[in-house]
């Protein structure tokens, strides 16, 4: 299982609000389409963000699990509602499960592989996983 680090408040908006698109300057590698991934809140906030709500102040922790369902480029950003940015690739997300207890983790740029302890701590909280 892979993890993706996303700055706050965006990671929290994915976990606890209706944000179902992640804006990136790079195209999603095809091997990750359809994959279930961990959503990791990075250690630094996006200081230009203007998102409000609860659960947006957790840093350096896995906060959700989601499935990446696709990727498309958007010049104007309007295709994905208020969360889509212009001139970016939109990675679409589904089956998002917010973790009741964030799992502390350092994270990394791009996709990264969490150690077994981090992955298992997150997966135990995922109601979508059949044991």
129 against 97, higher pLDDT = 97
Contact between residue 14 and residue 66 where contact means Cβ atoms under 8 Å apart:
yes
Per cent of the chain over pLDDT 90 is: 90
pTM of the model: 0.94
Report pLDDT for 127: 63
Average pLDDT for the chain: 94
SS3 50: coil
Name, in order, each residue with C-beta under 8 angstroms of 117's C-beta and a sequence gap of 6 or more. none
List, in sequence order, every beta strand (DSSP E) within 14-87.
21-24, 36-45, 61-74
| Tally of CB atoms within 10 A around 84 | 18
Give mean pLDDT, residues 14-32. Answer: 97
Q: Each residue of 44-56: pLDDT tens digit?
A: 999 999 899 888 9
Q: Is the pLDDT at 42 greater than 90, yes or no?
A: yes
pLDDT at 17 over 60: yes
Query: CA-to-CA distance for 28 and 13, rounded, in angstroms?
Result: 20
Query: What does the pLDDT look like over 74-121, one tens digit per residue?
Result: 999 999 999 999 999 999 999 999 999 999 999 999 999 999 999 999
SS3 call for 1: coil
Please give the pLDDT value at position 126: 85
Domains of the chain: 2-123 (2.30.130.30)
Max CA pair span of the chain: 42
Q: Which of the four pLDDT bands, split at 50, 70 and 90, describes residue 129?
A: very low
> For residue 81, what pLDDT is reported?
92
Helix, strand, coil distribution of the chain in percent, nearest 5: 20, 40, 40
- Asked if 14 contacts 93 with a C-beta cutoff of 8 angstroms, the reply is yes
Tokens 């791009």 correspond to 110
Which residue shows structure tokens 């680090």? 5
């Amino acid at each position: 299982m892979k993890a993706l680090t996303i700055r706050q408040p965006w990671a929290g908006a994915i976990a606890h609000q209706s944000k179902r698109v992640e804006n990136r300057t790079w195209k999603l590698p095809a091997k990750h389409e359809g994959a279930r991934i961990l959503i990791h809140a990075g250690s630094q906030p996006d200081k230009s963000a203007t998102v409000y709500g609860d659960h947006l102040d957790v840093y350096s922790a896995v906060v959700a699990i989601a499935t990446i369902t696709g990727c498309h480029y958007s010049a104007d950003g309007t295709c994905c509602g208020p969360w889509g940015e212009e001139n970016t690739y939109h990675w679409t997300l589904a089956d998002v499960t917010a973790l009741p207890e964030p799992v502390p983790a350092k994270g990394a740029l791009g996709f990264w592989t969490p150690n077994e302890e981090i992955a298992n701590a997150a997966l135990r909280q995922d109601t979508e996983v059949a044991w």
